[in-house]
Structure 1
């Protein structure tokens, strides 16, 4: 019989000497099924120059003892694959179970043989070999069987193949959030109990599920609150609810590192079995360092929304913080509820009625997490469909791994053999290699009017595609006299045949153009464009990451020559654009990487468009210069202490009055809100030709600052911890604060943003850096914030207008600045 299903989660099992993939899936009617399909693991070995008769005899006698089952070769077949543009004869070595692959490959390499694809995850191997996509419609032939170890029906498949790329539409989502006991924000799961577990679910029909579990009785009117007798019973109820609700997606925010590991530790300590998987398996937590920690439940997709934000989607956000509060405010339009978590422990000990506020806070966090998951799910599924690996893996990947997995998937279509991952010595060597970067035409500091900005659309991806840049075509034998790379006569790429890397990248470029067209058509029809927007963003991210991947030291398809050639072509094209602009009579005031800023002067926008069309008429492939916008005014500032223009630091105002700020403190995380606000306001006033008002405004801010009237929340400085605390040679304020947080028992990990305020008093800056909760209103050091935050944020702007810091910030400074065009 035949069934159609959407595979969500994957694992493999060994049974009777065979390897079976278990595809935990959803049927069209919303019910669940586990499709079981046999698949044999394998790797490749080169047989070029090898006595295959002798090799066959050695393979037949090869057996490597392992703890549970010996690793043996069960068969082989001769194949031909393409490796970096060259055909290669290989044996495909079939083995008895997935973990036998690296064991046997290592042994064959000790014989002097060259092995390939020996480190591919078996789940990924299966998906590529069979040619199916997670979260899309798949069809299987077979029959239902009795599988007593499973809580859901089992279907033994004889054949599995892709039916269509239609995505699963309706998923059941359950968000979890916990609150734990702490008196000093300490995170001690072996000691401190879980006080509350907030659960918020949305089923396939959009119906809500709300529940907060706790084990303390107190006065309340909360319908969703369930009071258990003990923490043990709370954990048991959590287990029961998850099993009863059986979500397709279990989601949390930082749940890989905090919520689920904490639940796991408490359950183990109290003897509660968390057998949440459809196969009765327990919640699994892999601890490979904080940044690599993963929590999983077989048959459910655990989506840690924070991981997706940090690794992939964060670059698309304006917020400088990836906290649940900041991300929710930007993506959903609402924030966390306000409570003082320092008071949760004391309130628990005193049976305070205020515990109801903490329960509401707990549920609201779960609600925000669920809504973020639903909002971002389109993007997650689109990445999965393009990259071809499970959602669980996709959201935990950085850009280089996303690109590599996309290439690996596409390699199956083109009979490509994947190069091996670099060894430590290769990585060390690659780390020492560098390339020349982009060309920058320095701006002259000043206030300008009537500016047009041009951008090359997807410059690096289109260069790679247009010039066939890839390791397969580098220095080919057929094109030595043509296709030379600018500035690098010793480099050339094949001009006769499109090679693999630029080919699959070009397909992404074409696909995105098609998706954007469909989005425009859908919008014209009044239809929702969310799926198209998600797809377009996914393709853009992958395409733009190819250049970085080619120069990434850990890449299989690493080629520093390709990366260097890409930037060489980019420099060449931006220089040509500058020269062409001058030929058309435009004054170029700034150019950087893929952008060119020109002044209209006495010309019209139509002339600028003519210039753009002339440039485009000479561009190869999919390269295209676009008009990013016309701006009546713009300002460029100088590098501090010099008269040289600062690159990537400017502000522009559109005809509609929208201000675009690049490179200034107002768009950076490690500046206080007061500095950002002052800078943004000054830029807006200056660009609107209200320079006198800008000076008056700044003076008022200085007066308020000195009088201690600036609200505390505007003084918080946020700085990211970029490494383990022991790895800092010099201790800045954020490191000092982070170390005090650790002393209090709080968790501080790389990637975390630390917040602090500088207060009055003796001692160096780091000794006066305090957590916001430790600071009262008016206790801040006004001189520090003026000299290190406010003045540096605006002094370069006023300097362009001819005014020094003394003239702006001294009480007797003049205030009239006049016009500067």
Structure 2
């Protein structure tokens, strides 16, 4: 997690907000280095345009010091610093000390004066400082109490909140639900509901995809050098535009292809093509790409430089890692879908590889068009290929009534982050922004990491997993084998419930009140405050209660319309994303509010809940097959047993237990977190098992896929023996092909992309060894090249230099074993016997012979 980021100084050039602007949604913010002012990007839904509103309150940059103004004025370097402005003494509440203290704001004329200049800045002059590493525009949002994603209006030049109120009909539904909730939580829940219920506007947007000529086959063009011409650019927008721009620099006339109702345009000069693209990027309030930060917009920017296009015509600004636009927002969907919390909790872990093909295939059921050498495509084929990429990029945001866009806006409201930051940052950054915003609204001093460490100390439980700092979640050993009729019960938001119910927060743990020391967290020596509600407990607990009590049930309410259920599912998914990451961040050293006792206590409560629930389940006569973090796997439980267990956990633990999954059958290996579940429709839920990773050779990957297909067809225990015979035949077939070398080299090739230049690798992994061999043969290689290699007796060889006799068959058998052995063991099958390695037990035992 990179929290100490450089200040982004923008030069926006767009429509300035008029003196009076109707309700418009705050999507983005920044700092204009020329005007030395914060600005906001407001989306006005009627005109569907972005307007820039500039701060008119005189807000300035500052750092916080605990020294008095008198002491600070004696620092000559400070008072003589060119951009130093003034000192302001203010009161802040120090939650660690549980007292109000006087601090000094050291005010400067611009953000770079605080700490943006390398090796200098006011924060380096004054010594220890607080709140000096927050981006200026984020600081501006905190100080003004702004909520990204919510509506504001401009009245006589001033920014005014459009105070959305929950409709009376919805309020009437919620108030009885929340009647028994503690008033402190209830107040927060109603405020969260106000943010979540506020309608999300339809956001006008355009998806962009570019194609580039490649002079070397299989090489991804280098976007920083941008030496190759752009051959095609496609646009698909929410207002109906479908457009493909093609470069025809052959000097020959060509027929304009007709493509799926799209407008197709030829340019003979690449410079004209790029300038046309820039006009479109300037026009739309939101531009969507898939990996545009790393490739599309970066390549366009640097190609424009090489073509000597005027900077005034270029709307793209490149940061260290991200690409920005001067008028609108650039949303890189690659980074959004790469977010593990989005992948797992919002989209149910449907995709494993974060490329456009896999994400679109899993989320919207559409994949990229499969083509060979892109340089050999006709104009029509190139146009179709490029347009299709833009189509699926756009549809990743438009499916299910714009679900993805709504998810982004709602997450912005919760996290208090701009859409650009939200879609690029990890969930830990979202939680940090919310916590910082909440500190500022309460008038609390945001502590430094060292403050918390000194006040609260480290862990007291011993880590089970090497490299961890404390004892984490409990995982009950699985019962290996095949089990039919498996029901999986899930603790609804186990860790958020622990944080809520036990009042866990950095300031409430190990508080200074002697009378609280008896209130110990189970399994730890940590005590928790009984006098004050913790900030983390209140924030996370109120979000958790709102999701469990209102939005999750509504997402499944058949009395509602499909559109209403979809909206509520978006909301509950957004809350789930946030909640499920809320505990781990406090145990990460890179998190500024790092508090190991908080993470440790949360895990301890989770372990306690899981252990007690398993005991109760067994007491009810239920066969517990496996327990993993916040889920228990039960064999053939009756509805009465399930109801009794659910009622007990609610009454005794204050945690909701829900039926999460029902498997026709499940296969558990001896290893924890490795199992395969088969749903009633034959679809599979594969956890921890190898075989689906991208780099695995096609011959082995296909064998694993065929094995899972065989298992998916099993309907009853009686059919399992037949499936085992099929698997036996499958393994024998693959082994025979390997031993007889009956394969194409591409079928046994590993495929790994060069993530950096060869000279930049400090280690020598297999794909780098193969790449160096190619280089010695005169092959040019660069970042993005995919290296195909086979394993040989002497190590590895590139496919281009290898022959069938080079392949080390035994190494491939080892890889096959690593993929199959876990499941085969659970099926009471032995890989060694299947491949003909000597064993004392006859093979017939495993197949009833």
Name the counterpart of 1:584: 620
Structure 1 unaligned blocks of 5 or more: 143-156, 288-292, 348-352, 638-644
Name the counterpart of 1:250: 287
Structure 1 residues 575 and 699 mapped into 2: Cα distance closer, same or farther (>3 Å)? same
Structure 1 residues 436 and 798 mapped into 2: Cα distance closer, same or farther (>3 Å)? same
The answer to whether residue 152 in structure 2 is matched with residue 138 in structure 1 is yes
Distance in 1 (CA, whole Å) between partners of 2:253 and 2:148 is 46
The answer to whether residue 548 in structure 2 is matched with residue 510 in structure 1 is no
Comparing both structures, which one devotes a greater share of its residues to strand?
1
The counterpart of 1:676, out of the listed 687, 692, 704, is: 704
The counterpart of 1:549, out of the listed 585, 590, 597, is: 585
Distance in 1 (CA, whole Å) between partners of 2:421 and 2:779 is 34
Structure 1 residues 538 and 701 mapped into 2: Cα distance closer, same or farther (>3 Å)? same
Structure 1 residues 684 and 809 mapped into 2: Cα distance closer, same or farther (>3 Å)? farther
The counterpart of 2:131, out of the listed 117, 124, 127, is: 117
Shift in Å at residue 558 of structure 1? Answer: 0.7
SS in 1 for 2:312: coil
The counterpart of 2:103, out of the listed 73, 83, 90, is: 90
Shift in Å at residue 226 of structure 1? Answer: 2.7
Shift in Å at residue 394 of structure 1? Answer: 1.4
Shift in Å at residue 815 of structure 1? Answer: 6.1
Structure 1 residues 560 and 625 mapped into 2: Cα distance closer, same or farther (>3 Å)? same
Q: C-alpha offsets along residues 559-602 of structure 1, whole Å, 9 cap, x if unaligned?
A: 111111122222222222222223223333322322223444xx
The counterpart of 1:354, out of the listed 372, 378, 385, is: 378
Structure 1 residues 74 and 796 mapped into 2: Cα distance closer, same or farther (>3 Å)? closer
Structure 1 residues 819 and 528 mapped into 2: Cα distance closer, same or farther (>3 Å)? farther
**Greater shift after overlay, 93-102 or 214-223?**
214-223
Distance in 2 (CA, whole Å) between partners of 1:647 and 1:784 is 28
The answer to whether residue 683 in structure 2 is matched with residue 648 in structure 1 is no
Structure 1 residues 542 and 51 mapped into 2: Cα distance closer, same or farther (>3 Å)? closer
Q: TM-score, length-normalised on structure 1? A: 0.81
> How many correspondences in the alignment?
754
Distance in 1 (CA, whole Å) between partners of 2:95 and 2:753 is 41
* Aligned positions of 1:148-547 closer than 5 A: 157-164=157-164, 165-184=198-217, 185=219, 187-188=221-222, 190=225, 192-203=227-238, 205-216=239-250, 217=252, 219-223=254-258, 224-243=263-282, 246-275=283-312, 282-287=315-320, 293-312=321-340, 313-315=342-344, 316=347, 317-341=349-373, 344=375, 347=376, 354-375=378-399, 376-420=404-448, 434-478=469-513, 479-489=515-525, 491-513=526-548, 514-521=550-557, 524-527=560-563, 529-547=565-583
Shift in Å at residue 435 of structure 1? Answer: 0.7
Structure 1 residues 590 and 364 mapped into 2: Cα distance closer, same or farther (>3 Å)? closer
Structure 1 residues 403 and 90 mapped into 2: Cα distance closer, same or farther (>3 Å)? same
Structure 2 unaligned blocks of 5 or more: 1-18, 165-197, 460-465
Q: TM-score, length-normalised on structure 2? A: 0.79
Structure 1 residues 511 and 411 mapped into 2: Cα distance closer, same or farther (>3 Å)? farther
Query: For the Cα contact (< 8 Å) 1:586–1:598, is it kept in 2?
Result: yes
Structure 1 residues 102 and 793 mapped into 2: Cα distance closer, same or farther (>3 Å)? closer
Over the residues paired in the alignment, what is the CA RMSD in angstroms? 3.9
Shift in Å at residue 380 of structure 1? Answer: 2.1
Shift in Å at residue 463 of structure 1? Answer: 0.9
Shift in Å at residue 198 of structure 1? Answer: 1.2
Distance in 1 (CA, whole Å) between partners of 2:227 and 2:807 is 37
Shift in Å at residue 499 of structure 1? Answer: 0.6
Structure 1 residues 756 and 321 mapped into 2: Cα distance closer, same or farther (>3 Å)? farther
Shift in Å at residue 391 of structure 1? Answer: 1.4
Structure 1 residues 284 and 806 mapped into 2: Cα distance closer, same or farther (>3 Å)? closer
Shift in Å at residue 666 of structure 1? Answer: 4.7
Shift in Å at residue 63 of structure 1? Answer: 4.1
Q: C-alpha offsets along residues 49-92 of structure 1, whole Å, 9 cap, x if unaligned?
A: x555x248559995454xxxx31224524232344454332233
Distance in 2 (CA, whole Å) between partners of 1:333 and 1:301 is 27
Shift in Å at residue 113 of structure 1? Answer: 6.3
SS in 2 for 1:234: helix
Name the counterpart of 1:145: none
Query: For the Cα contact (< 8 Å) 1:460–1:570, is it kept in 2?
Result: yes
Query: For the Cα contact (< 8 Å) 2:115–2:124, is it kept in 1?
Result: no
Name the counterpart of 1:641: none
The counterpart of 1:7, out of the listed 17, 26, 29, is: 26
The answer to whether residue 656 in structure 2 is matched with residue 624 in structure 1 is yes
Query: For the Cα contact (< 8 Å) 1:7–1:134, is it kept in 2?
Result: yes
SS in 1 for 2:518: coil
Structure 1 residues 817 and 209 mapped into 2: Cα distance closer, same or farther (>3 Å)? same
* Aligned positions of 1:62-81 closer than 5 A: 62-65=78-81, 70-74=82-86, 76-81=88-93
Distance in 1 (CA, whole Å) between partners of 2:450 and 2:215 is 45
Shift in Å at residue 35 of structure 1? Answer: 2.0
Query: For the Cα contact (< 8 Å) 2:68–2:103, is it kept in 1?
Result: no
The counterpart of 1:660, out of the listed 679, 685, 702, is: 685
